[in-house]
Structure 1
Amino acid sequence: MSEGAHLRHTEAGQPDASHTAILYLEDLNVSFDGFKAINNLTLYIDKGELRCIIGPNGAGKTTMMDIITGKTRPDSGQAWFGQTVDLLKLSEPEIANAGIGRKFQKPTVFESHSVAENLELAMHGNKSVWYSLRARLSGEQQALIDETLQTIGLTDHYHQAAGALSHGQKQWLEIGMLLVQKPYLLLVDEPVAGMTHQEMERTAELLTSLAGKHSVVVVEHDMDFVRSIAHQVTVLHQGSVLAEGTMDEVQNDQRVIEVYLGE
């Protein structure tokens, strides 16, 4: 890890990134059947940051998230969550327990259960559905569910079956299902695909509100949406970081223009 990259865990188990990054990816390489999906990738995410990752299809965005969450093991390189947690030594459940949550593009909610029950199930982790819904919530757990419903804008849908929600509302519910697990780092994959314009605006507000309390990494194709939320944008191309900066800096970068326009 780079010199000066200090992140300790506090006594409560929370990563302390007061000086620098919460996520370090350094010199990562992954090949699949001779195809180099990740090529000397180095990326740092700061505590409380909202970072957008863009890039053409095949740029390595999904593989990068697979490495962070333990789904894919790199051929070489390092991946650290803070200074003390070596992600390459942990299983997928251990990485989730360490405080990294991932939201996939397609929402996976329990459609026959109510919105509140979905949050309750997510909070209880891998225990059986029957046990989870019979276990009595503590006051603290109930408060967390209420607070999360407010954050994701679904307080009025407390008792509604998740299957009856709109596409956008299901996406927000799934973000809520991650939030009740109190992650320090959230990985969000194409959150606005298939959303109405109004839902996209609400999603922008939601993700922006999470930054600071959490570190949020958003992978997205919709450039208007990225512009509406991004302070810092990373462009991936052929498994490497091609450019990094503000949306304006990145969009005016000649290398980025060539990659996107094929010039």
Structure 2
Amino acid sequence: MIVSNQPLRRLGSMRRQMTRAERAAVFVLVLAVIGVVVSFVRGDDFAAECAATDVRLKAIRAAILGGEAGPGYRADIGEIPHSIHDLFDPSSLPAPLRTFDPATGRGWRGPYLEDGVQINVRKAHCSFSDPSCNSHRFVNALATGDMVVLDEFKRHAPECTNSDAERYCTNPILLQIPCDDLDRDGICSDSDMWLPGNARLVSAGLNGILETALSDYNAGARGDDRVLYLFMGDPGGGNLRCK
């Protein structure tokens, strides 16, 4: 009796087809799992760095305006600092205010923060080394050797793998005192009216690019910058959510 082997061939073909289908399904599943894990890890990292940066912004505001740790810079000096550096160094103050006078209750009692590092503007991240980030447009004052507080957003660029990674692959938090930009040149200069009531603290955010211009006193075009106003609620609609 002759037995046809066609059913066996069909069965073998089905097995091969099922194996291919199974492999494809497993491959797709693995890719999906990897995507979910990477997305979760990246999102979790961003959320943690974002939240930690916001905590630092609030700590700096408390150092300026006062909080649980004490009355703050403004109560001691009578005005807000011109930059974060003033919270660590009184040398820019008039001589009578460089030390605290118990009789008058006035004078510098700093440092008002403990987590400062010296910045080298030439080595700082692209917020300051990129020619498109004109310091007159974005920064009231920042010089090499100034003490600053760094944000918590970690960079992963090749230049961030050296020993300077901690210092130069995160960005300094800035104290911005905006202007009204009367001449509409996009730059705050001596001819413009300064707006200390709109003073704010700014981190360049995850992308490391400072986008909040001094003349934008509502910080409406902040991008992913983290902005915290000292004296008012946020007039520009608030920051992106940390997620």
Q: TM-score, normalised by structure 1?
A: 0.29
Q: Which has the larger radius of gyration?
A: 2
| Greater strand fraction, Structure 1 or Structure 2 | 1
Q: Calculate the TM-score normalised by the size of structure 2.
A: 0.31
Compare relative contact order (CA 8 Å, sep 6+) and give the higher one, 1 or 2. Answer: 1
